[in-house]
Structure 1
Amino acid sequence: MDADWISRHAVTLWAVLLAAALAGADVAWRRAVRRREGLDAAARTFLRPVTAMAVVVAMLAIAAAIAVEVRDAAGLTVFDANLASDLRANTPLPVLRAIAWLTHAGDALVLGIATLVVFVVLLVRRHLRLAITWIVTLVGTASINTALKSWFQRERPLHDHGYVVEHSYSFPSGHASGSMVFYGMLGYVLLVLCPPRWHRTIVIAAVAMISIVGVSRILLQVHYFSDVMAGYATGLAWVTLCVGSAEYLRLREGRRAGQ
C-alpha cells in the first residue's frame, strides 16, 4: 500500500478507520464494564494502575521509535514526504474545505477556552480533585508539546491550499496530542460524574473527536503522518498517566473510607 494509493482513497480510508476505532472502543468498553461489575464497589476503577503503566510504557516506546526515525531521516520520513505530496496533488479542494472546519475542534484557542470553562465548572460544583487533575493534565500536555516541537524543530510539509495555515514546528502534532488529552480527559471527567447509562456514548464520542482531529491534520497537509502518530502516542501516554494516578488516589481513598 503506497502513498499514492492512500492519497487517492484518503477520505474512504479515514471513514473506515474511524468506524474501526469506534467499534474497537465499544468492544473495549463493554469488556471493561463486565470486569468492573465483577469487582466489589470499593475496588472498581476506570483504569487499573497496572494497565495505565503498560499503556504509558508502550506509548513512550512508540513515540521514541518515531522520534528516532524523524531524527535520522529514515524510511518513515520518506513515506511522510511522499504521502504529503500525493495528498496535495490528489485531494479535491471542496474536501479540504470541509476538513478545515473539522480540524478547528483541536485548535489551541478552542481547547484553551474549553479547558478554562470546564475548570471553572468543576470548581463551582466543588469537584476539587477533578478540577486539579483536569488543569494539571491540560497545562502539562501543552508544555510537553511545546518543548518537543522546540527540540526537534521539524519543518511542516508544504500546504498552499489556504484553508489552514500553520507556521510553528511540525513534530509532534499539537492538534493530535491536544485532542487526545483534552477529549480523553473530558471523557474521564464525564465518566466520573455522569450516570452509567451515558458512559458508552461518552467513550464513543471521545474516540470520534480524537480520531477526526488528528487525521484531519494529515489530510490538510499541515502535518506529516509521523507527526500525528507521535502526537497521539505522547498524548495518550500523558493522559493515561494522569488518569491512572487520579484513579489510584481515588481507589486508595475509597478503600480507606471502607475500613
Structure 2
Amino acid sequence: MFRAPLLAWSAAISAAALALLVAGVAGLWPIGAIDGAFEAWLSGLRGDAYAPVMLVVTAMGDGLFLTLAGALAVIAFLFTGARRRALAYGTAFMLLPQAVRALKWLLERARPSDFAMTGTNAFSFPSGHAANSALIYGAIAALSLITFRGMAGKILAGAFILLPLMIGASRLYLGAHWLSDVLAGYALAILFLVLLALAVAKHPEPPHHSRAVPLIMFLIAAAFPVYLLVTLPDAADLYRAIELHEPVARTPSPGG
C-alpha cells in the first residue's frame, strides 16, 4: 500500500526536522525567537469562547484516553486473529511514550505557563499529546485506506489525520506547549509510523483480518463520550488554574 520511496522520504524529512528542533531547544540556534513570536500572536486570539471546544479536542489526545484507544486497537486485532499486527501496533504504542519521556527529561524545557507541574509533565518538549495522537490516529488513518475502498476510505483517513492536527492546535491554544514542541511530536510520530509500516509489510495478514478496523473505530467512538464525561470537569479546572498564571517568558530559553 505504501511504497518504499515514500516511507524513506517521510522518515528522512521527519528525522531531519526532529534533529533541527532538538538542536534549537538545546540552544544551538535561536528557536526561542520563533516560538516566542508565535506565542505572542496566539495570546491575542485566546478567549473563553473557544476554551470549552479546545478542552474537548485536547481530551482526544490525553495520555489516558490514547492508552485506552491503543489497547482497544490491539484487543480488536487479537479478537480477529491478527496477532502479528497486534504485536507490531502494541509495541509501537508502548515505545513512543517512552521516547517522548526520554526527550523531556533530556532537554527539560519549561512550558509556556509557570503553573506548577511535576515529573515529565513539568517539561514541554516534545508534546506527548501531538506525538501519541499522531501515531495512533495516523495508524488508524492508514488502516482506513487499506480496509475501505474508494471515497469512504479517503474520508475516514482524512478525518483521522485531521484529529492530531486539531489536538496539536488545542495544545497551543490552551498554552500547554510551544509551537516547536508540537512539531517535534509530529516528527517523532511519523518516524514511528514508518517503522510500523515496515514491520507490518514484512508479515501481511490475511484479508479477513481487516474486519478489526471497523471494530477499532466503533470501540474508540463509544469510549470517548464516557471518558469525556469523567475527565472534562478536572480538565476545565486545570485550564482555569493555568490561565491565572503569567507565561514564563515571551521568548523561551533554550533547554529550559
Q: Bin the TM-score by the shorter chain.
A: 0.7 to 0.9
- Determine whether 1:247 maps to 2:207: no
Aligned length in residues? 203
Q: Distance in 2 between matches of 1:88 and 1:73?
A: 27
1:175 Cα deviation (Å)?
0.8
1:184-203 equivalence runs, <5 A: 184-196=138-150, 198-203=152-157
Alignment of 1:116-195 (within 5 A): 116-158=71-113, 167-195=121-149
**Alignment match, 1:257:** none
How far did residue 73 of structure 1 move?
6.5
Distance 1:247 1:99 in 2: 36
| CA RMSD, 1 decimal | 2.3
Contact 2:145 2:154 in 1 (8 A): no
Structure 2 counterpart SS, 1:91: coil
Residue 235 to residue 243, structure 1, CA distance change in 2 (3 Å):
same
Q: Is the 8 A contact 1:170 1:227 kept in 2?
A: yes
Q: Which amino acid aligns with 2:77?
A: L
Q: Distance in 2 between matches of 1:193 and 1:67?
A: 36
Can you give the 5+ residue segments of structure 2 that lack an aligned partner in the other structure? 208-256
2:199 and 2:2 mapped to 1: Cα distance?
9
TM-score between both structures, scaled by the size of structure 1:
0.71
* Deviation of 1:197 (Å): 5.1
1:106 counterpart SS class: coil
Q: Residue 34 of structure 1 corresponds to which residue in structure 2? A: none
Offset at residue 159 of structure 1 (A): 6.9
- Could you say which residue in structure 1 is the equivalent of 2:67? 112
1:53 aligns with 2:8: yes
The residue aligned with 1:69 is: 24
TM-score (norm 2): 0.72
Kindly report structure 1 stretches of 4+ aligned residues shifted beyond 4 Å: none
- Cα distance in 2 between the residues matched to 1:182 and 1:172: 16
Q: Deviations over 1:133-184 (max 9, x none)?
A: 2111211211111111111111100177xxxxx9431001111111110101
Give the letter for the 1:75 counterpart: P
Query: Does the Cα contact within 8 Å between 2:141 and 2:158 map onto a contact in 1?
Result: no
Cα 1:89–1:198 change in 2 (3 A) is closer
Aligned to 1:5: none
- In structure 1, distance between residues paired with 2:75 and 2:150: 24
Unaligned runs of 5+ in 1: 1-45, 161-165, 255-259
Distance between the aligned counterparts of 1:90 and 1:184, measured in 2?
Answer: 28
Q: CA deviation at 1:195?
A: 4.4
